[in-house]
Amino acid sequence: MKRFRFALQSVATLRELRELRARENLAATIRLCERAEIALADARARRELLEDLVRSGRAFTLRAAEHVAFLCALHSASEEESAAGREVDQAHAARDQRLSEYYEAARALKVLNNLETHAKAAHRLACEREEQTALDERSSIAAARGHKYLS
């Protein structure tokens, strides 16, 4: 019997490459999410530090110019935190998009792998039937000739 050859092998190869690219894109996007979350945590820490400085500045005497400078820095830090928060949201949206692309590519590949598995099983069954038919033929010929067993 002929060797098994999956007719959709070229399609399977393309889907494997698509799934690999989707996985790599997802990994890169996850790294971007992590960086954005770290930047957000840093911005939040800077803002909290400045808030503590402004609060502690009220406990002792600050000149008006220093107080205004702290408030401006606090406002700037709050804006940086907001921008970092938006970047985190955008990174999470991109991650979710890449994740759905990966799931779709993985599902398409799994469908082809299942088709290949079923095709291999059908091929194996056809081979076994062909071998059994050949053995039955040999047995019939041997019986017709009067041989007890054919080895």
Read off the pTM: 0.72
For the domain bounded by 10-145, which CATH number is listed? 1.10.287.1700
Give 139's pLDDT tier (boundaries 50, 70, 90).
Answer: confident
Over residues 113-121, mean pLDDT: 93
Residue 37 has a pLDDT of 96
Over residues 90-107, mean pLDDT: 97
What span, in angstroms and rounded, lies between the C-alpha atoms of 121 and 77? 64
- The answer to whether 33 and 88 have CB atoms below 8 angstroms apart is yes
Over residues 23-52, mean pLDDT: 95
Query: Could you tell me the residue ranges of all domains in the chain?
Result: 10-145
